[in-house]
C-alpha cells in the first residue's frame, strides 16, 4: 500500500495544510484514483488554500499539472476577491 493510499484511509489526512494539499493533489492526479475519491479530495484540497496562500506557498512553487494549476488559479482568484 502506498503512502498516499495509507493516508487516504485515515479520517484526518494530515496535520499540516501542505501535507494535506500534496496528498489530495497526488490522489486527484493519479489516473487510477476512482472518481468518487477525487470528488472527496476536492473540498479537502480547497480547504487548505487560505493557509497555503497566507504562507506564500504559491509564490514560491509552481504547479506543473496544467489542469490543476488552472483550477487552483481560479479558486485562488475567487479567494482573493473575498467570495469564499
Mean pLDDT of 64-75: 94
The stretches of the chain forming alpha helices (DSSP H) are 3-8, 17-29, 35-47, 49-55, 57-60, 66-80
> pLDDT tens-digit profile of 13-64?
457 999 999 999 999 999 999 999 999 999 999 999 999 999 999 999 999 9
- Res 77 pLDDT > 90: yes
Q: What is the pTM of this model?
A: 0.74
Whole-Å CA distances, 65 to 15, 24, 26, 38, 73: 25, 14, 11, 15, 12
Going by C-alpha positions, the residue among 26, 51, 49 that lies closest to residue 37 is: 26
Amino acid at each position: 500500500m502506498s503512502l498516499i493510499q495509507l493516508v487516504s484511509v485515515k479520517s484526518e489526512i494530515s496535520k499540516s495544510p501542505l501535507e494535506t494539499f500534496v496528498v489530495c493533489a497526488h490522489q486527484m492526479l493519479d489516473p487510477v484514483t476512482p472518481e468518487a475519491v477525487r470528488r472527496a479530495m476536492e473540498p479537502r484540497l480547497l480547504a487548505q488554500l487560505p493557509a497555503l496562500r497566507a504562507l506564500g506557498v504559491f509564490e514560491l512553487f509552481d504547479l506543473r499539472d496544467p489542469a490543476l494549476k488552472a483550477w487552483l488559479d481560479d479558486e485562488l482568484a475567487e479567494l482573493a476577491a473575498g467570495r469564499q
